[in-house]
Structure 1
Amino acid sequence: MIKERFQGLELLATAVVVSDFQGTVLFANLAAESLLEVSRRSVDGHSMAALFVEAGQFGEFLAKAAKDPFGIKRQVFELVRPNGSSEHVHVTLSCPDANENITLIELREIEQQLKIDREARMLDQSIANKELIRNLAHEIKNPLGGIRGAAQLLEIELPSPDLKEYTQVIIKESDRLQTLVDRLLAPHRRPHIVALMNIHEVCERVRSVILAEHRKGLRIVRDYDISIPEFMGDLEQLIQAVLNVVRNAAQALSAHIADGTAEIILRTRVVRRVTINRKQHKLALDLQVVDNGPGIPADILERIFFPLVSGREGGSGLGLTLAQTFVQQHEGIIECSSQPGRTIFKITLPIQLEEHSG
């Protein structure tokens, strides 16, 4: 039986359809059912070519694969779902056995591939940034202590109180830089306290803090999926990560808060069969922070998670960097999309129901 033979394809997150050389569907895995947004029963026995705008070209593509079963063929086609929606997909054809009338058709969303590539770049960039920050912070820390100490000794020797005003400037600015350095190093020093936690406890703690800071003019809307299970994580780290993101949104809403129209939405959902940083996960949390502010300037949107990058005057540019660090320490990813009137920070975290042994 074809279905029994290819049952292992059900474990793949990639959409795979098995057809004969004529393109008649023999089997489709769960991921294909999800991509096509239709039940597998409704496509079994039907022509695969009928799913594409370029039906004729797909037929020719399939015929080439049948003539050269040892090669792997790749091409982009526009997929049309039964519900009328369409999407460009990367189609890969291969034949598991040259003597059989069977073709494996792998369908990969182009947007999904772009997302994977983007996540990989972000991860590599984040690792490089953290290494740079760590090295820079250590290089600053040692001479900073020397500058502060020299200023204190100089202050003792100065005869005039008026001159001591200048040494106090040196000492205070050294202390300010020391605080900044400590904040840069803090995420790398802090031990993980991993235990079962609830994401809505995180959201409620953050909501309470932000509403205490902004007692008037700001509305924080809860849009929770209460079915999300508890998962393994560091509660305090995730509270800090989400707090940094929501506080960043509240600061961007200052004008709206003044006129009473500011709104932040905390939305939680479960997503299944998701790829995060090149790893596949059966279950993940999708936490979105949505605000109705002016949006993030286009010139800094791609650099929003870089250290010391801020769109706000007087901002340290560390809040989102630290949020990204804490999220990545949970094997997750944080992304941002923005346009005037709607900015979305999306945190995706794999849901680990119990701590791995070993």
Structure 2
Amino acid sequence: METAVLLFGRDMQLLAINPAGENLLQASTRMLVGRSADMIFSSSERCRKTLVTAAEENRAITRRELSLHISPGNDIIVDCSVTPVVQDRGKPELIVEITRIDRLMRLAREDYLQSQYEATRNVLRGIAHEVKNPLGGLRGAAQLLDMEISDPELKEFTQIIIREADRLSGMVDKMAGPNKMLQLEPVNIHTVTEDVRGLVAAEFPDLVRLETDYDPSLPDIRADHDALVQVILNLSRNAVQAMLDAPDATNGAPNRLIYRTRVASKFTIGNTMHRMVLRLDIEDNGPGIPNDLQDTVFYPLITSKAEGSGLGLSIVQTIISQHNGLVEFISKPGKTVFSIYLPLE
């Protein structure tokens, strides 16, 4: 049973709770029974008010999308239904039914973003095909012209045309997405993150504090080592560059980049429920992603940087999808976390 059911007495103290409720609140019946509703729902004023209103007005009430703080770093979204049960005159007892919906919301959002991403990707593949054909002709004509002329100044112009045609061809290939087959083999995720940490430390010496919070018990995963390095390096560079571009965002604190690994259980990616997945968090204390970009950051050509191509996060999305994984993020000023989920089975 997925719905948490709690029974509160007339004095608003918990009388009983089902196993789903124990799982939801991450506490045993022995710990919870006898506690007041105010204590159990201390993090949600809306939830507490719902119980009080239902008791005072003796009517059933349902509230949607309430936020509950379960433990540090674990905030969930729930629907809450409160039904008064009057056994005799006086204040009623209350049956509270709580259904967690944040996973459903995440899956719905994931499906929507994935469909939008695929639609955009298909359009770009079509554009890439149409652009590369004339680019190839342009480059070939420039090569033929280069062989026919002897004037060094004119040859410089033909070489510019050839170089720019190659540059545009490479950009078009990136727009269309990686087409290299993955080389899957057992990979230790900490080997990957340590390789990236070394690259970032060399690229941005003394500009950012690199920290780790690893779960050493994680098993190897089947993955492409070099592709994962590209993913984590792209995310790390974006984070560091954002912090350097907005030095006041940290309120005087040092720029920090944290690599964190954990195991998540019973996690759904797409339409598949995985018994266990690896979660890699890349967290920074920079300015955050602008709100108007948060729904489209994984789309190709979307960037807030004047010199950016807008292809880095699109490549991240594609590579992680090729690994049957998921990448998502939360972002606000002072804290941005990109989380990568990869199946452990």
Q: Structure 1 length normalisation: TM-score?
A: 0.72
Report whether the alignment pairs 1:89 with 2:78.
Answer: yes
Residue 254 (structure 2) aligns with: 261
Q: 1:79, 1:299 → 2: CA distance?
A: 23
Q: 1:197, 1:139 → 2: CA distance?
A: 38
How far did 1:228 drift?
A: 2.1
Show the 5 A alignment for 1:115-194: 115-158=106-149, 160-185=151-176, 187=178, 189-194=179-184
How far did 1:322 drift?
A: 0.7
Name the % identity.
Answer: 37
Of residues 273, 282, 306, the one that matches 2:266 is: 273
Contact 2:196 2:233 in 1 (8 A): yes
How far did 1:77 drift?
A: 8.3
CA pair 78-246 structure 1, distance change in 2 beyond 3 A: closer
Show the 5 A alignment for 1:60-75: 61=60
Paired letter, 1:274: F
Contact 2:143 2:162 in 1 (8 A): yes
Superposition RMSD in Å: 3.8
CA pair 318-86 structure 1, distance change in 2 beyond 3 A: closer
Residue 318 (structure 1) aligns with: 311
Q: 2:54, 2:75 → 1: CA distance?
A: 17
Q: Structure 2 length normalisation: TM-score?
A: 0.74
Residue 250 (structure 1) aligns with: 240
| SS of residue matched to 2:239 | helix
Question: Structure 2, unaligned stretches of length 5 or more?
Answer: 8-13, 42-46, 83-95
| SS of residue matched to 1:308 | coil
| SS of residue matched to 1:307 | coil
Q: 1:338, 1:314 → 2: CA distance?
A: 22
| SS of residue matched to 2:289 | coil
| SS of residue matched to 1:286 | strand
How far did 1:154 drift?
A: 2.5
How far did 1:41 drift?
A: 5.8
Report whether the alignment pairs 1:283 with 2:276.
Answer: yes
Residue 296 (structure 1) aligns with: 289
Q: 2:281, 2:63 → 1: CA distance?
A: 34
How far did 1:250 drift?
A: 2.1
Paired letter, 2:229: I
Q: 1:242, 1:141 → 2: CA distance?
A: 29
Report whether the alignment pairs 1:111 with 2:113.
Answer: no
Residue 44 (structure 2) aligns with: none
How far did 1:45 drift?
A: 12
Q: 1:79, 1:340 → 2: CA distance?
A: 20
Aligned length: 310
Question: Structure 1, unaligned stretches of length 5 or more?
Answer: 1-8, 63-73, 94-104, 353-358
